[in-house]
Amino acid sequence: MSNYVIGLDIGTSTTRSVIFNRNGVVISESEHAYSTYRPKPNYSEQNPLEIESAARLAISTSISKLKITPNDIIGLTISAPMHSLICINDQNEPISPLITWADGRSYPQAAIMKESYGQDLYEQTGTPIHPMSPFVKLIWMKENQYPPYYEATRFVSIKEYILYKWCGTWEVDYSIASATGLFNIYTLHWDVEALAIAGINESQLSKVVPCTTQVGPLTTRVAKELLLHTSTPIIIGASGGVLANIGVGATEEGETALSIGSSGAIRRFTTQKTIDAEQRTFQYAFTKESRIVGGATNNGTILMQWLARQFSSLTKKETMEVADLEALAATSSAGANGLFFLPHMNGERAPKWNAKAKGGWMGLTLSHTSADMIRSVMESVIFNMYEIHETLHEKENPTKKLIVSGSYALSPLWVQMTADIFRKTVILTDSTHATAWGAAWLGMFALGEVESLEAIKAYIPIKHEVLPTVRNVVMYEEYYHLYRELYNKNKPLFAEIDRLQY
């Protein structure tokens, strides 16, 4: 009997191959990075060849570390980021860079579309009208006469491109297709109206299949490079957000997963078919019966990384670690002595969907310290996540379980802030590979090795729980309302400031 399963986690900056045993214990892993290119303001591009190469290297390295044979592998399942877009020619090769979710060049098209057909399309696709969306990116390409758009015979995500290179077929799972803004979450087919507006047709898109679909076989050359058999089961998998929820055991109604890395997201599974009238949250198809609903922020630990660079420069230290900043922030009191920060330094997605939103401190006085400034930044990230959570409450069942993950969960201060601001007991798992474990488990479910997706709960060790601090709960409730008012009152200025910056 084969004993190991691989979860391939293709991220926005690295690809990681993690090999688990059947109980979810990490046996081997390998991670390889690639660059993001920003040739102009608001551009965010990657090289799909670099990512595909990193994926191959990650898998082969993780296997070679173990010195196991292909017969030992149950299967491999793929997790990938949403909203990526590549133009492909009739030779099935990329003729454009991969345009990432963070690319903001299509802001004008998004603004116009949101005021015209936007609401109808959002209700059909569940994807907010925003520059992140491949739908809006395609409109930008068409209106700006982007040469690859007119030369392309196909438009795909990074997962689709990798699967074609490895298996020779063009297929896409429900969740990745759903996040394009081109997929109807009711019919589970490409949306005719969205395609017409984007100026493309269904033949230029991949075949949409369930997340449990076995693709392949691997070509002989690729199988040899990956150290696998051509017959090794390859499961198409889903988006990283969906699989992260599975990986922490947030698989049922009312179980909410909050994950913060450089960016962040809060998500839950649902069988309801209600769409937020204000377009504050997304709702993407996962299976024929269930969807993933939630919202993502552009601004997570990336803000602390930015602060670390600024403090390093000011203090003349060669490097200032984020952990150093967190230790300093802990010396400030909850509420940062009345100092507020708007965290939208990278524009914002949920719940505001404002690519021109800006960041900055409010209420700063001569009495405030660097510790107050750092703490206010940390608190603002959680305020924003809580605001997304509140929009879910209006349409969904209340959260009965809040599970956190991501690099931010390594900070006791940040986790305590989460418990206090959310007014919930926070559950931390002992796994740092939630997305990869979710992918691996989905693969075993697809192959009949486990009975259900929910059964993963028995294989997720709980690290500990963090309870809210009563005195902070009351204070943060007042602070949260002020935080929201600060955004609303400054919102009219953001577009003018953006005009001066770009």
Q: What is the pLDDT of residues 353-389, one digit of tens each?
A: 998 999 999 999 999 999 999 999 999 999 999 999 9
Helix axes 412-422, 370-395, angle to 10 degrees: 40
Count CB atoms within 10 A of the CB of residue 205.
20
pLDDT-based confidence at residue 275 (cuts at 50, 70, 90): confident
List, in sequence order, the alpha helices (H) in 204-330: 220-226, 240-247, 302-315, 322-329
Cα-Cα-Cα-Cα dihedral sign, residues 331, 335, 338, 344: positive
Closest by CA to 262, choosing from 396, 95, 79, 406, is 406
- pLDDT digits 0-9 by tens, 3-56: 999 999 999 899 999 999 999 999 999 999 999 999 998 899 999 999 999 999
127 conformational bin, left if phi > 0, alpha if psi -120 to 50, beta if neither:
beta
Residues forming beta bridges with residue 402, ordered by sequence position: 256, 426
* Domain positions in the chain: 4-242, 302-387+481-495
How does the average pLDDT of the chain come out, rounded? Answer: 95
Instruction: Report the CATH architecture of 302-387+481-495.
Output: 2-Layer Sandwich (3.30)
124 and 273 Cβ atoms separated by less than 8 Å: no
> Could you give the CA distance from residue 371 to residue 326 in angstroms, rounded to a whole number?
9
pLDDT at 340: 98
Six-digit token pair at 239? Answer: 């988006």
Mean pLDDT of 109-137: 94
Predicted TM-score (pTM) of this structure: 0.94
Joined together, the tokens standing for residue 468 give 């809210």
pLDDT at 397: 78
Distance, in Å, from the CA atom of 388 to the CA atom of 382, rounded to the nearest integer, reads 10
What's the rounded Cα separation, in Å, for the pair 405 and 415?
10
| End-to-end Cα separation, the chain, in angstroms | 59
Structure confidence at residue 180 as a pLDDT band (50, 70, 90) = very high
CATH superfamily, region 4-242: ATPase, nucleotide binding domain (3.30.420.40)
> Do 4-242 and 302-387+481-495 come out as alike in CATH topology?
yes
Tell me how far apart the alpha carbons of residues 5 and 25 are, in angstroms, rounded to a whole number: 10
Contacts of 112 (CB under 8 A, 6+ apart): none
- What single string gives the DSSP state of each residue in 298-318? S-STHHHHHHHHHHHHHHT-S
Question: Which pLDDT score, from 0 to 100, does residue 431 have?
Answer: 81
> Which amino acid is residue 82, in one-letter code?
M
Question: Can you tell me the distance from the alpha carbon of 217 to that of 158, in angstroms, rounded to the nearest whole number?
Answer: 19
Q: Mark out the alpha helices in 146-301 (DSSP H runs).
A: 147-151, 158-167, 174-178, 192-198, 220-226, 240-247
Rounded alpha-carbon distances, angstroms, from residue 491 to 188, 352, 488? 36, 10, 5
One-letter amino acid at 91 equals Q
CA dihedral 490, 495, 499, 502 (to 10 degrees): 100
pLDDT classification of 224: cutoffs 50, 70, 90:
very high
| Residue tagged 């997720």 (tokens) | 460
* Residue range 53-107, pLDDT digits in tens: 999 999 999 999 998 899 999 999 999 999 999 999 999 999 999 999 999 999 9
For residue 430, pLDDT beyond 90: no
Distance (Å, whole) CA 313 – CA 210? 50
Q: What pLDDT is recorded for position 276?
A: 87
